[in-house]
Structure 1
Amino acid sequence: MTGLRWGVIFVFYLSLVQSSIRKDQEYWKKLSTNELEEALAVKWNLGEAKNVILFIGDGMGPNTVTATRIHKGGEGHRLTYEKFPHIGLLKTYSANKMVPDSTSTATALLCGVKANFYTMGVDASVEHNNCSASLRPEARLESLAALALKAGKSAGFVTTMRVTHATPGPIYAHSASRLWECDSAMPRDSSCKDIGRQLVEDWPGRDLHVILGGGRQGLVAKAQDRPSDPVSAWGCNRSDGRDLITQYIKDKEERGLRHSVVSNTAELKNIDKNTDYLLGIFSNAHMPYEFQRIKDPHGPPSIVEMTEAAIKVLKKNKNGFFLMVEGGNIDMAHHRGRARTAVDESLAMEEAVSMAVNMTSEEDTLIVVTSDHTHTLSINGYPDRGSDIFGTTGPSKFDGLNYTTLTYGVGGPGSNKLKVQIADDQPRIVRTDPDTENTTSFMYEQASAILNDENVHGGGDVAIYARGPYAHLFHNVHEQHYVFHAISYAAKIGAFSKASTQYNNVYICLLTLLLGFMFRMIN
Structure 2
Amino acid sequence: MNIKRIAAAISCSLMTVVAHAAVLPATQTDSQWFKDSAANVVAKAQVDTKKTAKNVILFVGDGMSISTLTAARILQGQDKADNQGGEENFLSFEQFPHTALVKTYNTNQQTPDSAGTMTAMATGVKTKAGIISISDTSLRGNCLSSKGNELVSLVDLANAKGLSTGIVTTARLTHATPAATYAKTPERDWEGDFNLPAEAVANGCTDIASQLVMRDEANSLTVALGGGRSYFLPTTVKDGENKAGKRKDGKDLTKAWVDNFSKSAYVWDKKGFDAIDAANTDHLLGLFNPSHMEYEADRADDVGGEPSLTEMTAKSLDILKKNDKGYLLIVESGRIDHGHHAGNASRALTDAVELSNAVKAAMDATSSDDTLIMVTADHSHVFTIAGYPKRGNPILGLVHNVDGTLATANDNKPYTTLAYTNGPGAVVGVRDDLTSVDTQDKDFMQQALIPMESETHAGEDISLHARGPGSNLVQGVIEQNVIFHIINQAQQLGGTKY
Residue of structure 1 equivalent to 2:313: 307
Larger fraction in helix: 1
Per the alignment, residue 177 of structure 1 pairs with 187
Alpha-carbon separation, structure 2, partners of 1:94 and 1:297:
38
Q: How large is the Cα RMSD of the aligned pairs?
A: 2.0
Match of 2:238 in 1: 224
Contact 2:421 2:449 in 1 (8 A): yes
Decide whether the 8 Å contact of 1:198 with 1:205 is kept in 2: no
* Residues 74-473 of structure 1 aligned to structure 2 (within 5 Å): 74-136=86-148, 139-190=149-200, 191=203, 192-202=205-215, 207-222=220-235, 224=238, 237-252=246-261, 257-272=262-277, 273-294=279-300, 298-393=304-399, 395-412=407-424, 415-418=425-428, 429-473=429-473
Q: 1:239: Cα distance to partner?
A: 1.9
Query: Which residue identity does 2:265 align to in structure 1?
Result: S
How many residue pairs match? The answer is 433
Q: Distance in 1 between matches of 2:301 and 2:281?
A: 25
Quote the offset at 1:266 in angstroms.
Answer: 2.4
Which segment drifts farther, 145-154 or 48-57?
145-154
Closer, same or farther: CA 324–127 of 1 in aligned 2, 3 Å: same
Deviation at 1:68, TM superposition (A): 0.5
Q: CA deviation digits over 1:163-184, x for unaligned, max 9?
A: 1110011111111100000111
Q: Displacement, 1:470?
A: 1.3
Which position in structure 2 is the counterpart of 1:61? 65
SS of equivalent to 1:294: helix
Instruction: Give 1:298 shift.
Output: 4.8
Contact in 2 for aligned 1:196/1:219 (Cα 8 Å): yes
Task: Identify the residue that residue 83 of structure 2 maps to in structure 1.
Answer: none
The percentage of counterpart residues that share the same residue type is: 40
CA distance in 2, matches of 1:89, 1:213: 28
CA contact (8 A) 1:100 1:457 kept: yes
**CA 1:292–1:481: 2 relative to 1, 3 Å:** same
Counterparts of 2:312 and 2:322 in 1: how far apart (Å)? 16
C-alpha deviation, 1:265, in angstroms: 1.8
Conservation of the 8 A alpha-carbon contact between 1:378 and 1:406: yes
1:205-251 per-position Cα deviation (integer Å, ceiling 9, x unaligned): 9611011011111110125378x7867xxxx9322211111111111
CA 267–70 in structure 1, closer or farther in 2 if over 3 Å, else same: same
Does the 8 Å contact 2:257/2:264 carry over to 1?
no
Deviation digits for residues 489-517 of structure 1 (CA, Å, limit 9, x no counterpart): 11111235xxx68xxxxxxxxxxxxxxxx
Q: How far is the alpha carbon of 1:275 from its aligned partner?
A: 1.1
Is contact 1:161–1:285 with CA below 8 Å preserved after alignment? yes
Asked if the contact 2:142/2:199 (under 8 Å) is kept, the reply is no
For the structure 1 residues 310 and 225, does the alpha-carbon distance in structure 2 shift closer, same or farther, using more than 3 Å as the test? closer
Bigger mean CA deviation after superposition, 150-159 or 204-213: 204-213
Q: Please report the TM-score for the alignment, with normalisation by the length of structure 2.
A: 0.83
Partner Cα distance (2:151, 2:101) in 1: 24
Whole-angstrom CA distance in 1 between matches of 2:172 and 2:69: 24
- Please state how far the C-alpha of 1:82 moved relative to its aligned partner: 0.4
* C-alpha spacing 1:204/1:447, structure 2 compared with 1 (3 Å): farther
1:202, distance to aligned residue in structure 2 (A): 3.3
Residue in structure 1 matched with residue 495 of structure 2 by the alignment: 495
Q: Residue 229 of structure 1 contacts residue 284 of structure 1 at CA under 8 Å; is this kept in 2?
A: no
1:33 match: none
Q: Is the 8 A contact 1:89 1:461 kept in 2?
A: yes
The amino acid of 1:268's aligned partner reads F
Q: 1:265·1:297 contact (CA, 8 Å) conserved in 2?
A: no
Corresponding letter in the other structure for 2:411: D
Which amino acid in structure 2 is aligned with residue 248 of structure 1? W
CA displacement at 1:47 relative to structure 2:
2.0
**Cα distance in structure 2, aligned partners of 1:315 and 1:225:** 31
In 2, Cα distance between the equivalents of 1:183 and 1:485? 33
Which amino acid is the alignment partner of residue 458 of structure 1? A
Shift of 1:203: 5.2
Q: Deviations over 1:313-347 (max 9, x none)?
A: 00110010000000001001111000011000001
Residues of 2 paired with 1:336 and 1:116: CA distance? 25
Does structure 2 conserve the Cα–Cα contact (< 8 Å) formed by 1:199 and 1:205?
no
In structure 1, runs of 5+ residues without a counterpart are 1-42, 419-428, 502-523
Contact 1:50–1:364 (Cα < 8 Å) also in 2: yes
Structure 1 segments of 4 or more deviating over 4 A? 43-46, 203-206, 228-231, 295-298
User: Closer, same or farther in 2 for the Cα pair 1:386/1:115, shift >3 Å?
Assistant: same
Gaps of 5+ in 2: 1-46, 78-85, 400-405
**CA–CA separation in structure 1 for the residues paired with 2:301 and 2:423:** 31
Letter in 2 for 1:244: L
- 1:436 to partner: Cα distance: 2.2
Query: What is the letter of the counterpart of residue 460 of structure 2?
Result: G
User: Are residues 205 and 179 of structure 1, via their aligned partners in 2, closer, same or farther at CA, if it must alter by over 3 Å?
Assistant: farther
* Max Rg structure: 1
Contact 1:175 1:195 in 2 (8 A): yes
